[in-house]
Chains A and B, each alone.
Chain A
Amino acid sequence: MTPDLFRILPEVILTLSGVLVMLADAALEPRADRRPLGWLAALGVTVALGASLWQGSLPAGTAFYGSVQTDAFSTFFHVLICGIVLAAILLSIDALPEGQHHRGEYFALMVFGAVGMCLLTSAVELLVVFIALEISSISTYVLAGYRKDTEKGPESAMKYFLLGSFATAFLLYGIAMIFGATGTTQIPEIATLLPAARSHTLVLLAFALMMVGVLFKVSAAPFHVWTPDVYEGAPTPVVALMSTAPKVAAFALLVRLLYGAFPLLHALWMPLLWIVAILSMTVGNLAALRQQNAKRMLAYSSIAHAGYLLAALAGSGTEPIAAIAFYTAAYAAMNVGIFGLMSLVAGTSERRSTIADYRGVLAESPLAGGLMLLFLISLIGIPFTGGFFAKFYSFSTAMQGGATWLALIGLLNSGIAAAYYLRFAMAVAQPKNGKTAPVGRWGVATVVAIFAAGGATLVLGIAPGWVLHAASTAAQSFASITGF
């Protein structure tokens, strides 16, 4: 019998280290260097990552009266999320301006946010889902507006916050409906009680309302409108975090809901997600085409990636779950990498914002430029990078599910996407005659983070077997527990 606490060990560690950071922040001199706080937070997240891995060795099971469930599935996403948060913290250590105070809060918020995101992947009680979602959301709302002296920072936070709450209200309404239909809010129970639900209409209504909330979180079209604005205004290291970690968590939630709670509605959500997937890819890619602002462009691209991810759900068996797990990992690696580099290159004042501003980076710093190219290539989906295998698994899963047209549309879309990634890549590669802003200093933290992302991108592209194995183990464990 595993003590309940072990099931939430990473979250506990994260919470404690968050508190520790806060306390240390308060204890420090007002003018003291706050970077050690970042290292402290990083340490906490690392320990939590270790704890998550250790959790993987536990037998699968639930805790707290069926509130959370840990298994290979949750472990996979825990590790992934901890990794992302770790990278984001490391990126922030060097990226935030020297002498800016209150960084303690910043790191604490990141760590606390991780609590919510991690919990989201293991929660099987909708109330826990709701609270975890709010924890992760509120911390990212605040982080998005962290550059509050700029015009865009608060606007970004405001849009994210209001629209986020708007969507959460839908999700909550959905929870209410499913509660009303089945009398429970525990995901496994929902699945079993669904056929006996009081009103099937209400189930459908609940499902639709919950989808609104989740699809908002994964920024799938047409619920994507917030993404570009929020990314533009947020500090780049935060974008590295919030374009990945909350999305990863939201996808885990989506999988939980679809396969854990509503497997019976398969025939309903399959075409629905087809449409959403196609819409997301197309809208994201087309809108990114003419985008001049680098962050907005990548925001649109993340919408498209949500589409590619959703395409995997067209598959059958446990394949889609494995494909989504793998895709999120690859996507996280390359997105953290590219945003990390943008943060490094653009500097703390974010003096480079348009794509043209990135001209000459490769010539200026072959290392930074080369890595940027690597990540962009991976985003395009060129083989021998993680991005390729991610797309490959996603679409081959879809194909095996018979969705040839979806795969075709998706891959043509990735062709269109190549245009804007490449426009960025070309800008990076092209030498510039005039004066260029220097590339920022490579701090130790940045080096670790970016190289880890680069390494992950390459490993996922050249030897994806290991991660894929983990992903399919996760999927199988998920399937064996939920029994779909």
Chain B
Amino acid sequence: MNTPVPADWYLLLSAALFTMGVIGFLSKRSLITVFMSIELMLNAVNLSFVTFAHEWHAVKGQIFVFFVMMVAAAEAAVGLAIIIAIFRVRGTLTVDQIDRMKL
């Protein structure tokens, strides 16, 4: 009924999500989705935190997640503002086209 799950399954899921976030960062063409990939990575990390908090019976892990959320919110505000700013001057959000600075 209450079959326990090994903790490392959660960690594996976290690693998988983290990696998929990285893949998203590498492959998505739209700035917004790239940003979403980062959120995905943060979420993955959060899962690890919660898992470890559970394992250590330490509240700190959960509080960490709480702070990550706040940071994510702050980042989202700034990040989206940057995206808006870039859209204003470039008129596009395609990553591959925003490469004016190079070499």
Contacts and interface: CB of A to CB of B under 8 A. Distances in A.
Q: Do A and B bind each other?
A: yes
Interface of A: 127, 130-131, 134, 138, 141-142, 145, 148-159, 161-162, 165-166, 169, 172-173, 175-177, 179-180, 183-185, 228-229, 232-233, 291, 296
29 contacts: A127-B60, A127-B67, A131-B71, A142-B82, A145-B85, A153-B85, A154-B86, A154-B89, A155-B90, A156-B101, A158-B98, A159-B101, A161-B75, A162-B31, A162-B35, A165-B75, A165-B79, A169-B41, A169-B45, A173-B41, A173-B45, A176-B45, A176-B48, A176-B49, A177-B48, A180-B48, A183-B56, A183-B58, A291-B103
Given A142-B78, A162-B38, A176 B101 contact: no
Given A154-B86, A161-B82, 19 more contacts: A127-B63, A127-B67, A138-B78, A149-B89, A151-B100, A152-B101, A154-B88, A154-B90, A158-B98, A161-B79, A162-B38, A177-B48, A179-B49, A179-B53, A179-B60, A180-B11, A180-B55, A183-B52, A232-B101
A169 B21 contact: yes
A448 B48 CA distance: 49
Contacts of A134: 71, 74-75
Contacts of B48: 173, 176-177, 180
Given A138-B78, A161-B78, A173 B100 contact: no
Contacts of B82: 141-142, 145, 154, 157-158, 161
B74 to A, nearest CB: 6
B89 A179 contact: no
Contact of B89 (A151, A165, A180, A232): A151
Interface in B25-58: 25, 31, 34-35, 38, 41-42, 44-45, 48-49, 51-53, 55-56, 58
Q: Kindly name the residue among B21, B31, B100 whose own CB sees the greatest number of chain A CB atoms within 10 A.
A: B100
B42 A169 contact: yes
A228 B101 contact: yes
A155 B98 contact: yes
A166 B56 CA distance: 27
B41 to A, nearest CB: 4
A221 B88 CA distance: 33
Interface of B: 11, 18, 21-22, 25, 31, 34-35, 38, 41-42, 44-45, 48-49, 51-53, 55-56, 58, 60-61, 63-64, 67-68, 71, 74-75, 78-79, 82-83, 85-86, 88-90, 98, 100-103
Contacts of A151: 89-90, 100
A172 B21 CA distance: 14
B26 to A, nearest CB: 10
A154 B81 CA distance: 10
Q: List 8 A-B pairs, minimum CB-CB distance, nearest first.
A: A180-B52, A154-B86, A183-B56, A169-B41, A176-B48, A154-B85, A229-B101, A148-B85
B64 A169 contact: no
Contact of B18 (A150, A173, A296): A173
A166 B21 CA distance: 9
A166 B98 CA distance: 18
A228 B101 CA distance: 8
Q: Kindly name the residue among B44, B55, B56, B102 whose own CB sees the greatest number of chain A CB atoms within 10 A.
A: B56
B100 A155 contact: yes
Given A145-B82, A151-B90, A179-B61, A166 B38 contact: yes
